[in-house]
Structure 1
Amino acid sequence: MKPTEEPKALVLGFDPPCGHWTAALALARTAGVLGIRVDLHDALGYTSELSNHVMRAVYRKVLLRMPMVWDSAYRRPAKKGVAGPATSMAAWDRIFRPSFERLARRLPKYRVVICTQAYAAHTVLRATELMPLSSPRPKVYGVATDLVPHAAWDLPGLHALFVTHKDWQLIPMRIPRIEAGIPIHPRFAEVCAEPKTAFLPPDADSRLRILLCGGSLGLGPMLELVECIVRKRMPVVLDVLCGSNKPLGNAVRRLNTPHTPVSALHVDPDGEQAPYYRRADLYLGKAGGISVAEAMACGLPLILAFLLPGQERLNMERLQALGCSRFAENIEQACRHLADWIANPQAREAAAAISKQWGRSDASYRIWQNILAETPLEGFHAGELPEKLGAAASVSPEA
């Protein structure tokens, strides 16, 4: 779509997981749709400067009517004593209400679809109340990004809820539910269709390649885990996803040794991490819904550590029940699990097979397909996808 053309629809993806599949590839690369990622996790309850940064991106893209592949709010820690995203309704009234009132005056031109993660659903539903009665009422979809259900989703204002698996049907809810899986970046569908060797460096050796994730925890725990693995001289190659944490990356690189090679990977959350998951043999990190879904889509056995209380523990319990993961209470236990799986390839391969069986690299495609089936957008069809993504969506990872 040329910048001067009028888009046929506006899709708002609230929070990183939903923004992955709406703004990044599945919609923005399909001509005629504006895909905007609004990162409420970074903005709501944090600084007004940061929220203004996010909203300016929305205004700029909506007013100029330009397609958008990615617009990420940079992260800042919450100020001490400031409530987080799930509780700060005062932040909504102070920051987002005026912004949405101005934005709503532009929305009658568009057919609007909104997708949101659980903790932002109340805020997003309040936003739709500001839109003029003359404009089509947006359809708000909930997108589950965890493996088990929780009560926060029982919101009558949601049009439908995309859930991870059929077990969600055991929880009484008033909203229609559609099984799809956790919506990881569509790039994973394309990558999972390729052989693992396509993403290995030319000089790759035969040692197990471990993908270590959890850079959001900061320097301490991640560095201690790498130090433990290196100190024990484990015969593995460590790929450490550091995100934008440069101090962590610098510290990790200093631990590189011939017997345990260590590399620090700095990637933006726009799908470029997919090849690193695909080339790995094992995932070691925390139990966030998106991270474990990315690992399972690539058929990786999981060692889970650094759990956050609440939802991540529920995710861990679900994965242990499936049989594709082990849980480490501390760094020493994580190293013992890793050593055991190095020594027992049959057990590791059995866990990998279960992970591959339950992984859903096609979840983003299924959600997009269902939205188009329920909410026809002019010029689109339910099976329409960016180039390569459609063919890759139903292909399972190769060994």
Structure 2
Amino acid sequence: MRILILTCATGGGHLRAAAALEKYIRETTTHEVIQMDFLKSIGKLLDKTICDSYLFMAKKTPSLFGRLYKTTNKDNPLADFVPRTTELLALQLYPRLAEVAPDVIISVHPFATEMISGLKERRRITCPLICLMTDYGVHKAWIAPNVDAYVVACDDMVNDLRRLGIPKEHIYPYGIPVHDVFFDKEDQAKLLTEMDLEPEVPTVLFMAGSMGVSNIVDLYRGLCSSPLDLQIIIITGNNKKLYKLFESEIPNSSKKTKLIQFTTEVERFMHASDLIITKPGGLTVSEALACNLPLAVFDAIPGQEEDNANFLQTHDMGVRVTKENFSAVVSSLIEHKERLRRMRESCRTFDKSRANENIVA
């Protein structure tokens, strides 16, 4: 069987979910799997325009992004504009799809779902279409008339989809694909020792790369002023400016801090930690939950990140923090270990370790 996974670069979550599923298929089956960036396949200019616009709005004008998210989740002319636009783009994508000739298509982006649905309507495409939603809330942009199956992050989303007219038998709450290494439990004390940190000291992990530079440094300073005994891991990713700021900040800190730039072993630092501070992107949330790691989420972009944050809080797997209450909330969690233990147990109960297996099946 030839499986085509359609992705694009409007945020890293889509790509990480696709990569996790592709890796699982390659390692456990004899199926052929191809990952295709559908925007790049249509044209580099279109890809750059859409991706740059998305990233600009999400980072620079989040309130506008949130208003658009809410507006397009209702029946109105703006919401109807997207399907009409993607219908035109689908015809440009079709020649590449015809070359691949897939037996099944998995879409991890609403635009791609809409495009393939339109091509199925015209009978240009006849293979099954699986829509894989990569956040913990439902938006009507994902909904299209010719989707054969929706794979969603959690049971909460089933009724939301049914209210939008999707039959229950087309909805599969299997979870968002993440790499198996996040589910492979490691010895926390051993990991901390290897990282030159103290095994018996509570450990807070900052996933700082996507946060505002001034905000995250202020949060760090606030936590360092806490009288509690704790240690900190900071991952700045590709944010070189933030890395340099922390390089000069850490020597003056009262808390033992390990600073990491880009790493391909995020799971090791998650398994070593007791609490993660992060923006609530769908894949980061899923990876932390796979590690049974409670979350304190900060700076959620209005829209899907708000949905993810609300999901975590509703199920006692995370808390929402602001710049004003951050130190108090995090210090309280570290001090009251029973609360943190209950949150970790809630993460453990939310078990999506068979997501890849179930999707392939």
Name the TM-score class by shorter chain: 0.7 to 0.9
Cα separation, partners in 2 of 1:44 and 1:225, compared to 1, 3 Å: farther
**In structure 2, what residue type is equivalent to 1:145?**
T
Deviation by residue 1:259-299 (Cα, 9 ceiling, x = unmatched):
3133333346xx63222211111111222222222112211
Query: Partner residue of 1:16?
Result: 15
Alpha carbons 2:4, 2:34 under 8 Å: kept = yes
Deviation by residue 1:129-149 (Cα, 9 ceiling, x = unmatched):
78x85xx72322112222233
Residue in structure 1 matching 2:201, options 204, 207, 210: 207
Cα separation, partners in 2 of 1:321 and 1:263, compared to 1, 3 Å: same
Alpha carbons 2:103, 2:128 under 8 Å: kept = no
Alpha carbons 1:163, 1:178 under 8 Å: kept = yes
Deviation by residue 1:151-186 (Cα, 9 ceiling, x = unmatched):
334322111001233333323232410121222233
Residue in structure 2 matching 1:28, options 10, 26, 29: 26
| SS state at 1:240 partner | strand
Query: Partner residue of 1:332?
Result: 324
Structure 2: give runs of 5+ residues left out of the alignment.
8-13, 73-80
What aligned pairs does 1:164-183 form with structure 2 within 5 A after superposition? 164-171=153-160, 172=162, 173-175=165-167, 176-183=170-177
Cα separation, partners in 2 of 1:90 and 1:212, compared to 1, 3 Å: farther
Query: Partner residue of 1:286?
Result: 279
Residue in structure 1 matching 2:213, options 210, 216, 219: 219
1:264 aligns with 2:263: no
Cα separation, partners in 2 of 1:10 and 1:214, compared to 1, 3 Å: same
Deviation (angstroms), 1:339: 1.0
Query: Partner residue of 2:141?
Result: 152
Deviation (angstroms), 1:337: 0.8
State the TM-score, normalizing by the size of structure 1: 0.69
1:196 aligns with 2:193: no
Deviation (angstroms), 1:324: 2.6
Query: Partner residue of 2:45?
Result: 48
Query: Partner residue of 1:239?
Result: 233
Deviation by residue 1:89-117 (Cα, 9 ceiling, x = unmatched):
7986897754x244134123x42422323
Of the structure 1 ranges 247-256 and 28-37, higher mean CA displacement relative to structure 2 is found in 28-37
| SS state at 2:203 partner | strand
Query: Partner residue of 1:381?
Result: none
Matched pairs, number: 330
Structure 1: give runs of 5+ residues left out of the alignment.
1-7, 53-72, 370-399
What aligned pairs does 1:133-144 form with structure 2 within 5 A after superposition? 133=124, 137-144=126-133
Residue in structure 2 matching 1:275, options 268, 277, 284: 268
Query: Partner residue of 1:61?
Result: none
Task: Please report the RMSD computed on the Cα atoms of aligned residues, expressed in angstroms.
Answer: 3.8
Deviation by residue 1:292-342 (Cα, 9 ceiling, x = unmatched):
2211221122212112113322332232222232221x2231111111112
Query: Partner residue of 1:323?
Result: 316
| SS state at 1:361 partner | coil
Q: % of aligned pairs identical?
A: 18
Instruction: Give the whole-Å Cα distance in 2 for the aligned partners of 1:46 and 1:333.
Output: 45
Q: Give 1 or 2: higher helix fraction.
A: 2
Instruction: Give the whole-Å Cα distance in 2 for the aligned partners of 1:50 and 1:334.
Output: 37
1:355 aligns with 2:350: no
Instruction: Give the whole-Å Cα distance in 2 for the aligned partners of 1:182 and 1:10.
Output: 18
